[in-house]
Chain A
Amino acid sequence: MSALGRKGSLIPFTAASGFMMVLLIAAMAFLACFSLAGALGTTRIAGTWTEGLAGAATVRIPAGEEDRARRISLVLDVLRDTDGVADARPLSEKDVADLLTPWFGGTPELGELPAPSIVAVTLDAENEPDPSVVQARLDGASAGAVYDDHGRWRNRAAQAARAIGNLSYWALGLTVLAIMAGVFVVVAIAMSAHKSTIEALRLAGAEDRFIAGLYQKRFFWLGALGGLIGSGIALGAFVGLDTLASVRSALPMLEAPYYWPFVWVGIVVVCGLIAVLAARLAVLTTLRGRA
């Protein structure tokens, strides 16, 4: 019996509205991928900065003072005597010159420049000293030196990165909401076009969840297809675009490309499920409202 053998949809969905739905979800999934990448990337950058800079500090002895060597050894004595300092080591003139290269270009002749002397301090990670205490001790030895644990810069940069990361999560959440809202509206409109069909189904004894199931099935596939296309383009852009190289380097997942396919499938399934949820909500609220 071919009429029953062919699984015709009980609801006459149109291809055009399905295409538009896929387009909308694809665009949203694309944006969601970038939000997600932004969130993951910045969080990681913030982490790297805090970790990389933790446990290190510098003491700067201003240039122009006489008796540089004596002052350095004074500073070293104070530091080695301080709780929480693991190691203190003066940077050679060459090290300092290297640090300055980005600002001066080439290798500057330090003799010609009023460059400060710098002592690199390694802190005991478990027991970092209070910066103000260290500064006070240095002042006590009247070494005329400035202690800097990079705390302020570190915190500010990391905070900025985290703020961007948080915003990206918000953007991701809003994108998900936008997908849901889009699906909700499209389902509600579709239902008014299918009004007589839905009524016939109800009169034949269909429960609301049966009717919701018909829409959920349809919108799962539209959502998944949109997700597949949108995230496919986004992931392709990450891998392929040179302009995104810096984003790439910040993304941990790119270091382990073997699980990319799983991430992709995950995004696709999640898009489908978001569409299912929104479709269910739309159908159930519309049906109850009609009753």
Chain B
Amino acid sequence: MILFENVGFRYDRGAEVLQNVNLEIPAGSFQFITGPSGAGKSSLLRLLYLDEKPTAGRISLFGRDVTTLTRDEIAWFRRRIGVVFQDFRLLDHLTAAENVALPLTVAGVREMAYRDNVTEMLQWVGLGDKMDVRPPELSGGEKQRVAIARAVVASPDIILADEPTGSVDPDMAERIMALFVEMNRLGKTILLASHDVPMIERYKLPITILKDGTIDDGMGHSGRGAAA
């Protein structure tokens, strides 16, 4: 489903952010990426949601080399990928419900068809009473929950979450993790980037550790993500 082969990446003319990354994420798996701040976790996810192209190596996604995708194909691929951005990226002029519905709206789904779905999703993240509120009037944790609802509402094949529990209290974090586990049980592939090592370790799932842009397998050279 997701395959990185010797992937290298740099922003414009900056230094290399990722080097020689090899990673395989089979369909239906649930994995974590961790590592210190600045290690390149968000950059790696960025490559996966096709916001950037690798500057070296090869990434294949759904069996396609990502560098060969047309703009339309990129759009269609993104519909199969739900993303929780580290900085949420909500639209301030839309209500929470409109934000959650965005992946469905842009895919041309009629409001009639998704209305209940959106409501249910917002209730699930505990924001059933904030559907008409716009992001500037929401707390950080509430925004994060809107972002999570948006990422999963269209039932994508892959869910990428960048620090999805970074702004919520432990109870809500549990609840959000339970949502991801549930989605994974439904067959979704989930890749979650987080600093929160204690939380990650509780789930006994494969963990990839990034350090200075390379995968750290504890042996001083790059390799496949090691299971915790």
Where the two chains meet, the residues of A that have a C-beta atom closer than 8 Å to any C-beta of B are: 1-5, 8, 10, 12, 196-197, 199-208, 210, 287-288, 291
Q: How far is the CA of A206 from the CA of B90 in the complex (A)?
A: 15
- Mask for B82-109, Cβ within 8 A of A = 1, else 0? 0100000111011111100111011110
Contacts of A288 in B (CB 8 A): 71
When the two chains form the complex, which single residue of A8, A197, A207 contacts B75, counting CB atoms closer than 8 Å?
Answer: A207
27 intermolecular pairs with C-beta atoms under 8 Å apart? A1-B97, A1-B118, A1-B131, A3-B95, A3-B97, A3-B98, A3-B131, A4-B98, A4-B118, A8-B94, A10-B106, A12-B93, A196-B89, A199-B89, A200-B89, A200-B102, A203-B51, A203-B78, A204-B102, A204-B103, A204-B150, A205-B79, A205-B107, A206-B106, A207-B76, A207-B106, A210-B75
Contact of A1 with B115 at beta-carbon distance under 8 Å, contacts A8-B93, A203-B89, A207-B72 already known: yes
Q: How far is the CA of A241 from the CA of B98 in the complex (A)?
A: 52
User: A204 contacts B78, CB within 8 Å?
Assistant: yes
Chain B CB within 10 Å, residue with most, of A1, A8, A12: A1
**B contact residues, total (Cβ < 8 Å):** 33
Contacts of A204 in B (CB 8 A): 78, 102-103, 106, 150
Contacts of B106 in A (CB 8 A): 10, 201, 204-207, 210
B137 interfacial by beta-carbon distance below 8 Å: no
B119 interfacial by beta-carbon distance below 8 Å: yes
Contacts of B65 in A (CB 8 A): none
Contacts of A5 in B (CB 8 A): 111
User: B71 contacts A208, CB within 8 Å?
Assistant: yes
B49 interfacial by beta-carbon distance below 8 Å: yes
Known: A8-B98, A207-B76, A208-B72. 16 other contacts (CB 8 A): A1-B118, A3-B98, A3-B132, A4-B97, A4-B98, A5-B111, A196-B89, A201-B106, A203-B78, A203-B89, A204-B150, A205-B75, A205-B103, A207-B75, A208-B71, A210-B108
